[in-house]
């Protein structure tokens, strides 16, 4: 194998691949990245048997061939060298030689013949979506997926399909996030309607989605999504991710979302987030509790926290309140900050019925009109 | 030869050709679905395995399969998630019911911050324990009915409710079912479920930190207090006193208290009288060993739950051989399921007999004979072993002799004539009398029971 590539391209491909590598002690080959020089492209693949990724990189191929090299080594190496213009890549006796602007490395590789074959999509894309839109919305919900493995289905992100849109949702049972993505006319493939009639929803591991949105850049093209036998493919630019789907039934989370609110507040997101962050410094180290005090007849809301060890803090933020009476709602500060930072609008709306029930956060783009596309729910701490 | 057997044979052959790591990675959870014209259809757990078997290992598979079907030219794989967990079918149903209750609304609503949660009283509550999956038989009817009544009408019908019975008979299951059922009705109810040991340890900790008052307060703020294995507070005076006060306060507030123990209140030695009388003041229900039919029902239920097909005849065999303990029963079944899945074998009677042989015949009798019993007994009562055999009818010899006879019967399953023979050629009716006398004695006299336990442990520890 011998080729030349722009080091920027090469590095990008390798780093995407490196991220999916897992520790697999039974099959050591999995800690490697496979490089294959084919006709006019360099193919870079990696997998941990849950997620697989294949990147096609533009390169000037001088001699075809393939080699598998330890992902950590090549990843750390590329991370540390300064970006030169070109990267020369060559293999001799299963050793990979990289040369770029005065820096040369020889990485010991292993035989590529045992490297797993990464599945390829077998059919037409099911649907397409603007990468940037997908990235933005997936990023909003992904943080709410459960980390602990006790409930498999909660570690994934729910995709619910409608005729011309789909919804992403994630919950760890303490908070919940939902985002709607509209699809344009030509975005759904031929098999889409048939598919959703049979499978109205799927669950994609949050980790997969994390890697997918990480690989999306500013100039990325439309993302193509394929769904096959218990697996899903995401194709952006020249990178294809494949992942298993989580087998299970996602909770009927929609029932948790309150339909009406007796109280609501419009508040500037940045100032609230800042106040909550400040209050977090003083929140109790165990309960992480931050309280919002909202009054019906006041255009100020209070953010309070206190702890025995550190002291206490009170801040006021101006708001536009439509609350009934006076409420004091206690939140885990992290959940609150996560919810606030998942939005990008200037103003947000907070809706609730009492201090115990779910509290809904929504973006506000037009004055006094909460948006429907995205919501975040956080359960208060009951005192 | 069925598909399963063919696949096993194929795997056996492939295993020789590939490395063990590759073998386990690629061939785990695979099976033949069917033969279709010239191809074999294999079910695999994921897309990676599909690619690998179709493109890399197809030659190995084809070579091996030729011996059985010579027209096969192609390997085709189907990814089926079901293979990963056979139980998924049933558990889905379970998840469903748990979900609507648990995550849907309720869990979110009852969810406090996670770290707070662990501090609350719900520690140790297991959602799997529910009334729906408790098998009722004549042995536990009363206890089950009482628990059900309490769960519907907490604090007002039977207070306190005291459940007793041996290990692995379902006490904890009943107790937790009550808690889960009450929580399902009203997630805001405060429930404390704790073992007596945990209670004691917590008390000690709090006393150490000079927080005895907080300790009491934490238990008073509850709608339902469940203490499992209450017998462990026997002999711990201060803990008993503390528990006594908590008990009284809750009782007066009409809060439900449920206790469990391995024996009735009056048989718990060193339990203070005022506690004993209080325990006896409510409802006392026992769970005893399940009869054969109940045991079979339990096995059937468990097998169905795990989606495992097994002949009734085989279940009958397991149930009639494992009598004392439901947990053991479950263990035996799980063992069969696991080994069957591992080896892809059918759970036939002979297979099950072989698999369970070391459970059924293990422990108790191995290495124990008349000699060991006599030694252990004479050693324990500090008499000469010869005296047991002699004709002496002194009281301090008679009792050990009867104990020895009892143990021979109970532990060695020796015949009565055989026992008489061993102990100085006595008549079989003497041995029968001794056996009955001691059996009765154990029920009434727990000093005797303790003695027997000590002798037994001495006997088995010497092997």
Whether residue A219 is found in the same domain as residue A282: no
Chain A residues 60-79 within an 8 A CB cutoff of chain B: none
Give me the CATH number covering residue B35.
3.30.300.180
CA–CA separation, A75 and A78 (whole Å)? 5
CA–CA separation, B284 and B251 (whole Å)? 16
Reported as a pLDDT band with limits 50, 70 and 90, residue B457 is confident
Whether residue A80 is found in the same domain as residue A100: yes
Whether residue A289 is found in the same domain as residue A367: yes
The kind and range of the H/E element at B238 are helix B237-252
In this structure, the number of other CB atoms found within 10 A of the CB of residue B138 comes to 11
Chain A residues in contact with B25 by the CB 8 A cut-off are 26-27, 49
- Examine residue A191 and say whether the peptide bond preceding it is cis (omega within 30 degrees of 0): no
Whether residue B196 is found in the same domain as residue B76: no
Reported as a pLDDT band with limits 50, 70 and 90, residue B119 is very low
Which among A93, A48, A9, A376 has a CA at the least distance from the CA of A241? A48
Bridge partners, residue A47, by sequence: A52
Whether residue B171 is found in the same domain as residue B139: yes
Kindly give the parts of chain A with pLDDT less than 70.
24-25, 383
For chain A, what is the domain count? Answer: 3
DSSP per-residue codes, B239-290: HHHHHHHHHHHHHHTT-EEEEEESS-GGGSTT--HHHHHHHHHSEEEEE-PP
Which among B370, B380, B382, B384 has a CA at the least distance from the CA of B423? B370
Domain encompassing residue B348: 309-360
Residue B220 lies in a domain: yes
Q: Domain boundary at A114, A136, A159, which?
A: A114
Cβ pair A265, A322 in contact under 8 A: yes
Which among A77, A83, A36 has a CA at the least distance from the CA of A56? A36
Give me the CATH number covering residue B437.
1.10.1750.10
DSSP at A154: G
Tokens of B71: 């027209």
CA–CA separation, A96 and B24 (whole Å)? 30
Tokens of A9: 């391209």
Whether residue B125 is found in the same domain as residue B93: no
Residue A383 lies in a domain: no
Count of residues for chain B?
Answer: 463
Tokens of A287: 């309960």
Count of residues for chain A?
Answer: 383
Distance of CA B113 to the CA centre of its chain: 33
Whether residue A296 is found in the same domain as residue A353: yes
The single residue listed with the structure tokens 């037009």 is: A366
Residues A23-82: pLDDT tens digits? 766 788 899 999 999 888 999 999 988 899 999 998 999 999 999 999 999 999 988 887
Chain B residues in contact with A26 by the CB 8 A cut-off are 21, 24-25
Tokens of B329: 């029963």
CA–CA separation, B244 and B210 (whole Å)? 20
Task: Give the pLDDT of residue B365.
Answer: 53
Pick from A119, A171, A245: CB nearest B50: A119
Chain A residues 289-348 within an 8 A CB cutoff of chain B: 289, 332
CA–CA separation, B218 and B121 (whole Å)? 9
Residues B322-363: pLDDT tens digits? 877 788 888 888 888 888 888 877 888 888 887 777 666 544
Whether residue B277 is found in the same domain as residue B194: yes
Pick from A117, A230, A255: CB nearest B52: A117
Reported as a pLDDT band with limits 50, 70 and 90, residue B85 is very low
Whether residue A262 is found in the same domain as residue A249: no
Tell if the CB–CB gap between B116 and A381 is shorter than 8 Å: yes
Average pLDDT, chain B: 80
Domain encompassing residue A53: 2-114
Tell if the CB–CB gap between A119 and B48 is shorter than 8 Å: yes
Q: Give φ, ψ of A381 to 5 degrees.
A: -85, 130
Q: Domain boundary at A253, A278, A312, which?
A: A253
Cβ–Cβ contact A251 with B under 8 A: yes
For chain B, what is the domain count? Answer: 5
Whether residue A105 is found in the same domain as residue A149: no
Tell if the CB–CB gap between B47 and A47 is shorter than 8 Å: no
Tell if the CB–CB gap between A382 and B21 is shorter than 8 Å: no
Residue B301 lies in a domain: no
Cβ–Cβ contact A173 with B under 8 A: yes
Residue A121 lies in a domain: no
pTM assigned to the model: 0.57
Give me the CATH number covering residue A90.
3.10.150.10
Whether residue B151 is found in the same domain as residue B218: yes
Residue of B nearest to A173 (CA): B108
Rounded to a whole number of angstroms, the distance between the first and last alpha carbons of chain B is: 46
Which of B108, B110, B125, B190 would you mutate first to test chain A, the one with the most A CBs within 10 A? Answer: B108
Sign of CA dihedral B351, B352, B358, B364: negative
Cβ–Cβ contact A252 with B under 8 A: yes
Which pairing describes strands A300-307 and A311-321: parallel, antiparallel, or unpaired?
Answer: antiparallel
Tokens of B252: 């007066």
Which pairing describes strands A86-92 and A65-70: parallel, antiparallel, or unpaired?
Answer: unpaired
Whether residue A180 is found in the same domain as residue A155: yes
Residue B296 lies in a domain: no
Tokens of A233: 């493919």
Residue B98 lies in a domain: yes
Whether residue B143 is found in the same domain as residue B61: no
Cβ–Cβ contact A117 with B under 8 A: yes
Residue A147 lies in a domain: yes
Give me the CATH number covering residue B212.
3.40.50.300
Whether residue B434 is found in the same domain as residue B346: no
Q: Domain boundary at B98, B116, B134, which?
A: B116
Tokens of A222: 């439309």
Whether residue A135 is found in the same domain as residue A105: no
Chain B residues in contact with A123 by the CB 8 A cut-off are none
Whether residue B333 is found in the same domain as residue B248: no
Bridge partners, residue A347, by sequence: A268, A364
Residue A209 lies in a domain: yes
In this structure, the number of other CB atoms found within 10 A of the CB of residue B238 comes to 13
- Examine residue A90 and say whether the peptide bond preceding it is cis (omega within 30 degrees of 0): no
The complex's ipTM works out to 0.74
Cβ pair A298, A323 in contact under 8 A: no
Whether residue A226 is found in the same domain as residue A135: yes
Q: Domain boundary at A253, A281, A309, which?
A: A253
Residue B334 lies in a domain: yes
Whether residue B144 is found in the same domain as residue B251: yes
Cβ pair B336, B312 in contact under 8 A: no
Q: Distance, in angstroms, between B115 CA and closest chain A CA?
A: 6
CA–CA separation, B31 and B376 (whole Å)? 54
The kind and range of the H/E element at A370 are strand A369-378
Whether residue B255 is found in the same domain as residue B162: yes
Mean pLDDT of B199-205: 86
Whether residue B244 is found in the same domain as residue B164: yes
Whether residue A236 is found in the same domain as residue A289: no
Whether residue B89 is found in the same domain as residue B225: no
Q: Distance, in angstroms, between B262 CA and closest chain A CA?
A: 32
Tell if the CB–CB gap between A231 and B104 is shorter than 8 Å: no
More confident residue, B144 or B461: B144
- Strands (E) across A216-275 are located at 223-228, 231-236, 239-244, 263-268
Tell if the CB–CB gap between A27 and B25 is shorter than 8 Å: yes
Residues B239-259: pLDDT tens digits? 888 888 888 888 888 888 999
Size of interface A-B (CB pairs under 8 A): 109
Task: Give the pLDDT of residue B87.
Answer: 36
DSSP at A254: G
Cβ pair A153, A242 in contact under 8 A: no
Chain A residues in contact with B116 by the CB 8 A cut-off are 286-287, 381
Q: Give φ, ψ of B32 to 5 degrees.
A: -85, 130
Task: Give the pLDDT of residue B102.
Answer: 33
Q: Distance, in angstroms, between A182 CA and closest chain B CA?
A: 26
Chain B residues in contact with A153 by the CB 8 A cut-off are 95
Crossing angle of helices B446-461 and B428-444, in 10° steps, is: 110
Task: Give the pLDDT of residue A204.
Answer: 95
Tell if the CB–CB gap between B51 and A116 is shorter than 8 Å: yes
Residue A122 lies in a domain: no
Cβ pair A130, A222 in contact under 8 A: yes
Chain B residues in contact with A379 by the CB 8 A cut-off are 108-109, 111-112
Whether residue A134 is found in the same domain as residue A52: no
């Amino acid at each position: 194998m011998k080729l030349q590539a722009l080091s920027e391209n090469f590095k990008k491909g390798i780093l995407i691949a490196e991220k999916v590598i897992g520790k697999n002690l039974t099959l050591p080959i999995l800690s490697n990245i496979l490089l294959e020089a084919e006709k006019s492209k360099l193919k870079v693949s990696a997998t941990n048997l849950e997620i697989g990724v294949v990147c096609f990189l533009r390169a000037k191929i001088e001699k075809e061939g393939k080699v598998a090299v330890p992902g950590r080594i090549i990843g750390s190496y590329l991370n540390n060298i300064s970006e030169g213009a070109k990267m020369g890549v060559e293999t001799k006796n299963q050793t990979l030689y990289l040369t770029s602007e005065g820096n040369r490395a020889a990485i010991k590789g292993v035989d590529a013949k045992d490297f797993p074959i990464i599945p390829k999509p077998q059919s037409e894309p099911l649907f397409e979506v603007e990468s940037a839109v997908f990235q933005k919305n997936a990023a909003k919900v992904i943080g709410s997926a459960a980390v602990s493995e006790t409930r498999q289905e909660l570690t994934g992100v729910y995709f619910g399909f409608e005729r011309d849109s789909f919804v992403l949702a994630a919950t760890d049972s303490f908070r919940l996030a939902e985002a709607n993505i509209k699809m344009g006319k030509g975005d759904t493939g031929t098999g889409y309607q048939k598919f959703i009639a049979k499978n109205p929803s799927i669950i994609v591991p949050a980790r997969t989605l994390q890697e997918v949105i990480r690989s999306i850049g500013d100039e990325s093209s439309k993302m193509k999504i394929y769904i096959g036998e218990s697996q899903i493919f995401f194709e952006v630019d020249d990178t294809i991710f494949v992942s298993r789907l989580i087998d299970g039934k996602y909770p009927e989370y929609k029932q948790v979302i309150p339909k009406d609110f007796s109280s609501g507040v419009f508040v500037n997101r940045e100032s609230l987030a800042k106040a909550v962050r400040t209050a977090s410094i003083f929140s109790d180290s165990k309960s992480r509790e931050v309280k919002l005090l909202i009054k019906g007849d006041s255009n100020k809301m209070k953010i309070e926290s206190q702890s025995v060890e550190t002291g206490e803090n009170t801040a006021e933020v101006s708001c536009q309140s439509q609350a009934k009476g006076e409420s004091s709602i206690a939140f885990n500060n992290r959940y609150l900050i996560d919810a606030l930072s998942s939005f990008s609008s200037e103003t947000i709306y907070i809706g609730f019925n009492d201090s115990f029930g779910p509290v809904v956060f929504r973006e506000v783009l037009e004055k006094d009109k909460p948006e429907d596309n995205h919501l975040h729910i956080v359960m208060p701490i009951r005192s | 030869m069925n598909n399963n057997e063919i696949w096993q044979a194929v795997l056996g052959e492939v295993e020789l050709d590939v490395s063990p790591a590759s073998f386990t990675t690629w061939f785990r959870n695979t099976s033949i679905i069917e033969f279709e014209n010239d191809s074999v259809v294999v079910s695999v757990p994921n897309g990676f395995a599909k690619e690998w078997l179709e493109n890399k290992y197809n030659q190995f598979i084809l070579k091996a399969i030729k011996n059985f079907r010579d027209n096969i030219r192609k390997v085709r794989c189907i990814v089926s998630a079901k293979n990963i967990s056979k139980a998924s079918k049933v558990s889905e149903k379970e998840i469903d019911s748990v979900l609507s209750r648990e995550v849907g609304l309720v869990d979110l609503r009852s969810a406090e911050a996670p770290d707070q949660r662990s501090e609350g009283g719900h520690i140790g509550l297991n959602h799997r324990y529910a009334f729906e999956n408790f098998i009722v038989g004549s042995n536990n009817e009363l206890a089950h009915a009482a628990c059900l009544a309490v769960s519907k009408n907490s604090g007002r019908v039977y207070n306190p409710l005291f459940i007793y019975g041996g290990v692995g008979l379902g006490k904890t299951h009943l107790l937790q079912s009550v808690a889960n059922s009450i929580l399902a009705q009203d997630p805001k109810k405060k429930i404390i479920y704790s073992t007596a040991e945990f209670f004691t340890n917590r008390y000690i900790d709090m006393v150490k930190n000079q927080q005895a008052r907080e300790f009491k307060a934490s238990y008073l703020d509850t709608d339902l207090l469940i203490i499992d294995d209450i017998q462990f507070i026997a002999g711990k005076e201060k803990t008993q006193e503390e528990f006594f006060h908590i008990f009284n306060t809750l009782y007066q507030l009409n809060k439900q208290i449920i206790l469990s123990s391995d024996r009735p209140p009056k048989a718990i030695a060193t339990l203070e009288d005022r506690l004993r009388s209080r325990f006896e003041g409510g409802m006392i229900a026992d769970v005893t060993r399940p009869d054969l039919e109940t045991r079979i029902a339990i096995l059937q239920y468990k097998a169905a739950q795990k989606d495992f097909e097994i002949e009734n005849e085989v279940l009958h065999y397991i149930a009639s051989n494992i009598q004392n303990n439901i947990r053991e029963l479950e263990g035996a079944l799980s063992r069969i399921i696991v080994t069957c899945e591992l080896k892809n074998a059918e759970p036939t009677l002979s297979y099950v007999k072989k698999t369970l042989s070391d459970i059924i015949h293990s422990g108790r009798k191995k290495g124990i004979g008349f000699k060991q019993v006599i030694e252990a007994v004479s050693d324990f009562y500090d008499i000469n072993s010869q005296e047991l055999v002699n004709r002496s009818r002194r009281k301090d010899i008679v009792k050990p002799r009867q104990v020895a006879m009892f143990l021979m019967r109970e532990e060695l399953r020796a015949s009565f004539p055989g026992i008489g023979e061993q102990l100085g050629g006595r008549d079989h009716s003497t041995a029968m009398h001794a056996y009955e006398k001691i059996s009765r004695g154990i029920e009434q006299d727990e000093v005797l029971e303790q003695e027997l336990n000590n002798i037994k442990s001495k006997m088995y520890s010497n092997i």
